[in-house]
Structure 1
């Protein structure tokens, strides 16, 4: 297992553990931080393991951080429709 893949799995575990506890801002500050950390990790996964493994990691991250993805989709849809 490469270092970037191990970092991606650690990122997934930390995001899941943090999501279990309540937050006053509904985890948005944490989500911004995790997105900032997750992008370089995902690029490392792509470089070291290839496109398909990076796509699987991206899908797992989107599954955990689904509300930012939903709001991004709504924003894109609003811009083009």
Structure 2
């Protein structure tokens, strides 16, 4: 197992540990996980190719599902406003 996959596995373990903290720490922890996870994802893709990069992306999305859901809602908000105006 190369260094990028070890870092990705450590990221998942840290994410699981942070999920067990009280709720007031969840959003700051999510921001930190995103900031650290994006370079790790690029590193995994660079060392192992796009298939394992997509697997790592799917793992990250499953861990950070609520921030992704809120981001999707935030991105859809302008589209819904346009539909109401028409």
TM over 0.5: yes
Q: CA deviation at 1:75?
A: 1.6
CA distance in 2: counterparts of 1:18 and 1:78, whole angstroms:
30
Superposed CA RMSD: 1.2
Instruction: Tell me the number of residue pairs that the alignment of Structure 1 and Structure 2 aligns.
Output: 80
User: Which one has a larger percent helix, Structure 1 or Structure 2?
Assistant: 2
Q: TM-score, normalised by structure 2?
A: 0.85
Q: Which is bigger in relative contact order (C-alpha 8 A, separation at least 6)?
A: 1
Unaligned stretches of 5+ in structure 2? 81-86
Q: CA deviation at 1:24?
A: 2.1
Q: CA deviation at 1:36?
A: 0.5
CA distance in 1: counterparts of 2:44 and 2:78, whole angstroms:
31
CA distance in 1: counterparts of 2:39 and 2:11, whole angstroms:
11
